[in-house]
Structure 1
Amino acid sequence: MSSESAPSAPAPKKRDPILLVDDEASLLEIFVSALSSEFECTTATSSREAEFILRKKEFKVVIADHLMPGGNGMSFLVRAREEYPHMQRILVTGYMKPEMLLRSVNEAALFRYLLKPVSLTELVKVTSEAVKLHDQSVAE
């Protein structure tokens, strides 16, 4: 087969960078497998590790678990809002009282929260919407 007849492969689509934060490595793996075809995924297993990563690289979206040892995801997302206002924030939680959830959504200006067990279809959809909102807020 000559090289002239071979179709040229399209350039690979640039994937948007997202950060996933959860102390459960198995859950991170599941999330990465669901999201990696659409997004460039970076993972952290603690809020401290995530804050270190955020200083090194820009992300469009951060998805953080609520309850983790060594600092909860909600506090991390509140700090992330202050330092990286355009980065969209998604909280994953197993349980939260409605009044606490409302306060959390306001304090961290969450894009969305997802209840465990998280539907992977919903995770991909919500992450895509968050990336679009990020791009709109940066363009303004």
Structure 2
Amino acid sequence: MNAQRLQVLLVDDEEPVLVTTAAVLSEDFSVHTARDAGAALRMLAHQHFDVVCTDFHMPGKNGIELLREATVLHPHLAGVLVTGYREYLDRKDQQQAQTLFYLVLKPYQPQDLISMIRRAAEASRLKREMNLITSGLAERKRGAR
């Protein structure tokens, strides 16, 4: 197990869900919470997170809009979208959305959410490492000229 715990930003407008989910996740991760997309984006501006785990349906910006903005701010940030809205899966932008985040459908088992957060964080870590490798190769190529 890693000595450093993954930093997870959990976003949900329903207080009981937020508190319960944070308690479950805090056994495995360092969890910070926000009640809406605006608060989450303010936290993202000042603090590092490995994963943003957000509910889809919230007042104001929904979870997809939050994840899109968050990944613009932090391109290697991993996103997990939790939704009970199965009809979302029928939308035209499903394929594009799948490149932005991982999807967890309600109802889910806590272990399923924990596993998805770990998978998302690992994918994010690999993206960061690949970016470092490719930028290092580009730098060496420029230096060799």
Instruction: Give the TM interval when normalised to the shorter protein.
Output: 0.7 to 0.9
**How many residues of Structure 1 are paired with residues of Structure 2 in the alignment?**
128
Q: Is the CA contact (8 Å cut-off) linking 1:77 and 1:108 kept in structure 2? A: no
Structure-2 change in CA distance of 1:139 and 1:113 (3 Å): same
Deviation at 1:30, TM superposition (A): 1.8
> Higher helix fraction: Structure 1 or Structure 2?
2
- Counterpart pick for 1:90 among 73, 80, 83: 80
Q: Which runs of 5+ in 1 are unaligned?
A: 1-11
Q: Which amino acid aligns with 1:27?
A: V
Equivalence for 1:32 = 22
Deviation at 1:99, TM superposition (A): 2.6
Q: Which runs of 5+ in 2 are unaligned?
A: 131-145
Q: How does 1:44-83 map to 2 (within 5 A)?
A: 44-83=34-73
| Percent identity for Structure 1 against Structure 2 | 31
> TM-score, normalised to structure 1's length?
0.83
Q: CA RMSD in A?
A: 1.8
Equivalence for 1:121 = 111
- Counterpart pick for 1:13 among 3, 7, 13: 3
> TM-score, normalised to structure 2's length?
0.80
Q: Which amino acid aligns with 2:70?
A: A
Q: Which amino acid aligns with 1:54?
A: L
Q: Which amino acid aligns with 2:28?
A: E
